Amino acid sequence: MKKLILSLGLLLSAAALADDSKAVTFEGKITGVVCASCKAHITAALTQKLPDVVSVDVKPGEDAESQKIIIITRDESLTKDKAVDALGTYAKNYQILSLAKK
């Protein structure tokens, strides 16, 4: 029984890794992110409204006015407009200035 459970676990892990291998990274600029709560709002909105999003990260940008947004998704057709729409009412506070596939 233990071997069966272990084998099943390995199969599920392999399937998850294979699925993530199709993920695409998008990078861009975003404004208005000033704290961890801001980042949490953006992450929640994008992952809930865009089901193929695997992860969202916001890092300091090259200038003081904007931050770098990194979205990993299985949707190769993600666009800036789709991401802005997914932000919903948060789009008033956080502006995605650019988004491009890496």
| Mean of pLDDT values over 66-86 | 97
Name residue 70's beta-bridge partners. Answer: 27, 57
| pLDDT at site 1 | 56
| pLDDT at site 19 | 54
Phi, psi dihedrals of residue 68, rounded to the nearest 5°:
-95, 130
C-alpha dihedral over 84, 40, 28, 76, to 10 degrees?
-70
Q: Is 39 a residue whose pLDDT tops 90?
A: yes
Fold of the domain spanning 23-101: Alpha-Beta Plaits (3.30.70)
| Mean of pLDDT values over 14-29 | 74
| pLDDT at site 4 | 45
Q: How confident is the model at residue 30 (pLDDT cuts 50, 70, 90)?
A: very high
| 8-state DSSP, 51 | T
| pLDDT at site 64 | 86
Q: What does 10-32 look like in DSSP terms, one character per residue?
A: HHHHHHHHHHHTT-EEEEEEEE-
